Amino acid sequence: MGWALPPMIILSRASYTRPHGMKICLQTRRLEALILDGHGSHNTAAFEQFCKGNAILPLYMPPHSSHLLQPLDDEFLDLYPLARKEASKDTTIKSGFKTTGLVPFNPAETPRNAIQLERQCTKIKQFLKQRTQSPPSPTNQALDQLVRGCQLAMYGATLLAQENRALRAANVKQKRKQGQGLPLIEFTMFSLRTAQPAQSLFRTVAKTSSTSLPRSAIAARSFATIQSDIFKPTKYGGKYTVTLIPGDGIGAEVAESVKTIFKADNVPIEWEQVDVSGVDAGNKHSEDLFKESIASLRRNKLGLKGILHTPVERSGHQSFNVALRQELDIYASIVLIKNIPGYKTRHDNVDLCIIRENTEGEYSGLEHQSVSGVVESLKIITRAKSERIAKFAFSFALANNRKKVTCIHKANIMKLADGLFRSTFHKVAESYPTLETNDMIVDNASMQAVARPQQFDVMVMPNLYGGILSNVGAALVGGPGIVPGCNMGREVAVFEPGCRHVGLDIKGKDQANPTALILSGSMLLRHLGLDDHANRISKAVYDVIGEGVTRTRDMGGQASTHEFTRAVLDKMEAAL
């Protein structure tokens, strides 16, 4: 009947709907909570009355997802082969683990990511504490263990789903080339072979509260992603539709500048604007706004986004930016660090590109407080995603006439996680003999970037290091207001300033520098093959800054946002 962690018990539908299951529940005097499969059968008046009459809190999970926790009990897999088969179905994994979580009372409100799962479990523990008027019980420890297991399972299932989509897309492409009617590769998303490591993973999670990370359950298949695979949208009515997310702070002001410049140059783009301002500050409609932006980007395949503010004070709250990248698998961040001609900075001849893995590392969102004053935060590095970002970096270097790729890591300390990233990089490098390669520890790379940035060309690194070095790089060439960037996925590309500076202190004062978003817009145009528009706009921006007459305050001038935009428009008109 599943597995038990007193005073909590986890039951499959077959167990708790049978008389002996009810009898065992009644005999378990210390029972506080039931973790239940998300079938509709438990949502009956009789079952609700049973729970209420015995002071039991029911916690629901999606259909069959508890079966994937059942490897904790070997007997279950022997006694219920049909359930195991059902739980291993491709459709079950997709629908079940996409929404894996613990939900009090309402199965329709299942969490959809690790942060929501953690939030639900916190509420459950608070509920139990209020009800029992006692300090944290073994139930809290059991919930923490289950959270960790579910989080790892969700993460693993997400990777498998992404790999599934990628390989199926490759199949379709290959079939079209060969004109064959049958798929070249057929596999289920979670086979019994790939489930075996998961059994060990969950046993470890349930039997220990150690912070060490169990061995990954992800199958060692690589992503066949290169830059040329990225999908580009098609025109409708002679124009591309692009999702515009202005962002917080100065976002609305600089977005208007971009719209004005694009309109003046007759760029064939229509904007679908989604205003998510305030979504990370606790807006009550945050979930709806997030879903709207995701739907728009999936529909249009292309976005231009300002910077969104994530308050430091909101613990347990996942950044909208991180959630967006993980939901859409926008896995590669590209930040271009380059001197603008005529704008003098400390270093000359800086021209480097920072490529950052966007979807894992320290930003995986897998953290929780086990006991008061003790926080566990998991850093996830996988061979598949390390290989994918390395291939992207090398492909980018070749496509843009770059000569050298440097891997940034901390493998001297994090020998397993960053060691895997580093070794995967060097393995991929063997396929690109024409490019020079080296690797560098991140703290040394930070010093070298400040002392002699000209030595770098393309730098590829995990998530956290990319966020730090992008800001270091921006300082080298003039600040966050002039550094463009983009985030690339297989199906969606989102262009945004390379340094995430919201500018809350100058919001509404007409002092913002729109250069970063304008140049990010130019990158978007090049992505679409609209090079003439991109070159015209970026040249006008460089000319205005290079002349030194009309510069915003962050560049040492006194021009307003509107005045800078007007100067760019004048340069464009003069060039016609």
Could you give the CA distance from residue 91 to residue 412 in angstroms, rounded to a whole number? 42
Could you give the CA distance from residue 187 to residue 191 in angstroms, rounded to a whole number? 8
- Mean pLDDT across the stretch 130-138? 50
Q: What is the pLDDT of residue 321?
A: 80
For the whole model, what pTM was predicted? 0.63
Do 477 and 337 contact (CB within 8 A), yes or no?
Answer: yes
Minimum mean pLDDT among 59-73, 222-236, 527-541: which range?
59-73
* Percent residues over pLDDT 90 in the chain: 41
Q: Cα-flanking dihedrals φ and ψ of residue 112, to 5°?
A: -115, 5
Cβ-proximal residues to 529 (8 Å cutoff; 6+ apart), any chain: 232
State the amino acid at position 533 in one-letter form.
Answer: H
Cβ-proximal residues to 38 (8 Å cutoff; 6+ apart), any chain: 60, 61, 62, 63, 64, 65, 107, 110
Question: Hey, which residues does 104 pair with through a beta bridge?
Answer: 59
In a domain, 452, yes or no: yes
Question: Helix or strand or coil: residue 458?
Answer: strand
State the amino acid at position 1 in one-letter form.
Answer: M
Could you give the CA distance from residue 497 to residue 480 in angstroms, rounded to a whole number? 8
Query: Is the pLDDT at 123 greater than 80, yes or no?
Result: no
In a domain, 271, yes or no: no
State the amino acid at position 370 in one-letter form.
Answer: S
In a domain, 86, yes or no: yes
Cβ-proximal residues to 242 (8 Å cutoff; 6+ apart), any chain: 269, 270, 271, 272, 300, 302, 303, 304, 524
Could you give the CA distance from residue 353 to residue 480 in angstroms, rounded to a whole number? 15
In a domain, 314, yes or no: no
Total structural domains in the chain?
A: 2
Do 460 and 406 contact (CB within 8 A), yes or no?
Answer: yes
User: What band does 97 get if pLDDT is binned at 50, 70 and 90?
Assistant: very low
The dihedral through the CA atoms of 54, 57, 61, 66 has a sign that is negative
- Mean pLDDT across the stretch 122-133? 58
Q: What is the pLDDT of residue 232?
A: 62
Q: What is the pLDDT of residue 176?
A: 66
In a domain, 406, yes or no: yes
With CA atoms as reference, report the closest residue to 8 among 41, 44, 56.
56
Do 166 and 185 contact (CB within 8 A), yes or no?
Answer: no
In a domain, 257, yes or no: no
Final residue before a domain boundary, out of 183, 207, 231: 207
Could you give the CA distance from residue 95 to residue 157 in angstroms, rounded to a whole number? 11
Do 305 and 495 contact (CB within 8 A), yes or no?
Answer: yes
Could you give the CA distance from residue 146 to residue 370 in angstroms, rounded to a whole number? 11
Could you give the CA distance from residue 278 to residue 291 in angstroms, rounded to a whole number? 15
Final residue before a domain boundary, out of 431, 446, 477: 477
Q: What is the pLDDT of residue 278?
A: 63
- Mean pLDDT across the stretch 240-268? 92
Q: What is the pLDDT of residue 552?
A: 94
Q: Cα-flanking dihedrals φ and ψ of residue 278, to 5°?
A: 90, -5
Do 555 and 343 contact (CB within 8 A), yes or no?
Answer: yes
**Residue 565 structure tokens:** 């935009």
In a domain, 147, yes or no: yes
Interval 490-535: pLDDT, tens:
889 999 998 877 777 888 888 899 999 999 999 999 999 899 999 9
Question: Hey, which residues does 460 pair with through a beta bridge?
Answer: 355, 407
Q: Which residue has the higher pLDDT, 223 or 273?
A: 273
User: What band does 85 get if pLDDT is binned at 50, 70 and 90?
Assistant: low
User: What band does 119 get if pLDDT is binned at 50, 70 and 90?
Assistant: low
Query: Is the pLDDT at 350 greater than 80, yes or no?
Result: yes
Q: Long-range contacts of range 71-78, CB-CB < 8 Å, 24 or more positions apart?
A: 71/195, 71/198, 71/199, 71/202, 71/203, 72/3, 72/202, 72/203, 72/206, 73/2, 73/3, 76/2, 76/3, 76/12
* Percent residues over pLDDT 70 in the chain: 57
Q: What is the pLDDT of residue 408?
A: 98
Q: Which residue has the higher pLDDT, 135 or 331?
A: 331
Domain that includes residue 426, residue range = 346-353+378-477
Q: What is the pLDDT of residue 386?
A: 96
- CATH at 451: 3.40.50.2300
- Mean pLDDT across the stretch 260-270? 94
Could you give the CA distance from residue 476 to residue 478 in angstroms, rounded to a whole number? 6
Q: What is the pLDDT of residue 129?
A: 61
Could you give the CA distance from residue 358 to residue 364 in angstroms, rounded to a whole number? 9
**Residue 8 structure tokens:** 């909590």
Q: What is the pLDDT of residue 307?
A: 82
Final residue before a domain boundary, out of 207, 230, 256: 207
Query: Is the pLDDT at 358 greater than 50, yes or no?
Result: yes
Minimum mean pLDDT among 1-10, 253-262, 343-352: which range?
1-10
User: What band does 128 get if pLDDT is binned at 50, 70 and 90?
Assistant: low
User: What band does 200 get if pLDDT is binned at 50, 70 and 90?
Assistant: very low
